[in-house]
Amino acid sequence: MEVQHKSKFSVIIPTYNERLNIALIVYLVFKHLRDVDFEIIVVDDGSPDGTQDIVKQLQQVYGEDRILLRARPKKLGLGTAYIHGLKHASGNFVVIMDADLSHHPKYLPSFIRKQLETGADIVTGTRYVKDGGVHGWTLMRKLTSRGANVLAQTLLWPGVSDLTGSFRLYRKSVLEDVISSCVSKGYVFQMEMIVRASRKGYHIEEVPITFVDRVFGSSKLGGSEIVEYLKGLAYLLVTT
């Protein structure tokens, strides 16, 4: 189904050691957004595996105006990666997504269609409604993620079903406003973004997605991230 939308979309993809994934994710974005005006902004945090070399090769194929490489010298955090990418975004809408293929670009037309139909400020992918889900996770990780969301839902009442997801479409001005008020880093950052947006009264819509565990490379979620999540939850409970 074609998606008719006169806006331009800036797709920000933070990367660290995603040499094996970045070419495929770029190909799939181009495949699924054929009738859409968009650019891809890759924010690479000094990957030692040659991710930037692959992106430069992709620029030769697709054009430097369609794929922007905005590298940083080292790992500086997810939140600052989005801020860095935003500085270079020429679209009036911004998509944020992971490079590890856990966020399939096939859902992007649904995000754009939902925004067009509802006038939403934010469209977020959710694993926790009908037709949403996860694939490739252990039972323990499913329970941890689901438990984290239920806990946050109970304490924060944000009005969205998937707080920790990081596959979202934002009106650019809204993302700039919300991100400027966030202080969290790492795993908690996405949760703070959506809670702050909800508290500010922005119009948020959801689209069901199936989250697929990363295809190549190792997951960056560990025990320390879970501890950070709980600390961040307590912080948001006090400050929002």
SS3 assignment, position 44:
strand
Distance separating alpha carbons of residues 34 and 218, to the nearest angstrom: 31
Question: Are 6 and 51 members of one domain?
Answer: yes
**Please, are residues 14 and 85 in contact by the beta-carbon 8 Å criterion?**
yes
Question: Are 78 and 188 members of one domain?
Answer: no
SS3 assignment, position 119:
coil
* 110 domain residue, yes or no: no
Question: Are 132 and 188 members of one domain?
Answer: yes
Is 191 or 229 the better-scoring residue by pLDDT? 191
Question: Are 231 and 148 members of one domain?
Answer: yes
Is 98 or 140 the better-scoring residue by pLDDT? 98
**Which long-range contacts link 177-181 to residues 24+ away (Cβ below 8 Å)?**
178/202, 179/79, 179/82, 179/83, 179/86
Judged against a pLDDT cut of 50, whether residue 48 lies above it is answered with yes
**Please, are residues 193 and 202 in contact by the beta-carbon 8 Å criterion?**
no
SS3 assignment, position 149:
helix
Distance separating alpha carbons of residues 17 and 98, to the nearest angstrom: 12
* 109 domain residue, yes or no: no
The model carries a pTM of 0.82
* 117 domain residue, yes or no: no
Choose one of 66, 84, 101: the last residue of a domain: 101
Contacts of 97 (CB under 8 A, 6+ apart): 11, 12, 13, 25, 103, 105, 166, 167, 168
Judged against a pLDDT cut of 50, whether residue 52 lies above it is answered with yes
Which CATH number do you get for residue 82? Answer: 3.90.550.10
* 113 domain residue, yes or no: no
* 112 domain residue, yes or no: no
Question: Are 45 and 83 members of one domain?
Answer: yes
- At 133 the pLDDT is 56
Judged against a pLDDT cut of 80, whether residue 13 lies above it is answered with yes
How far from the centroid of its chain's Cα atoms is residue 85's Cα?
12
pLDDT in tens, 139-190: 665 556 656 666 666 665 656 777 777 899 999 999 999 999 888 776 678 8
Q: How many domains does the chain have?
A: 2
Residue 196: what residue type? R
Question: Are 240 and 132 members of one domain?
Answer: yes
Question: Are 70 and 155 members of one domain?
Answer: no
- At 1 the pLDDT is 43
Question: Are 161 and 226 members of one domain?
Answer: yes
Question: Are 40 and 132 members of one domain?
Answer: no
- Structural domain span for residue 200: 126-166+173-240
* φ, ψ dihedrals at 12, nearest 5°: -95, 125
Pick left, alpha or beta for residue 201 (phi over 0 → left; psi -120 to 50 → alpha; otherwise beta): left
Question: Are 134 and 95 members of one domain?
Answer: no
Distance separating alpha carbons of residues 16 and 52, to the nearest angstrom: 10
* 156 domain residue, yes or no: yes
Question: Are 91 and 135 members of one domain?
Answer: no
* 118 domain residue, yes or no: no
pLDDT in tens, 185-224: 766 788 888 889 998 999 999 999 987 755 555 555 555 6
Question: Are 67 and 154 members of one domain?
Answer: no
Q: How confident is the model at residue 79 (pLDDT cuts 50, 70, 90)?
A: confident
* 107 domain residue, yes or no: no
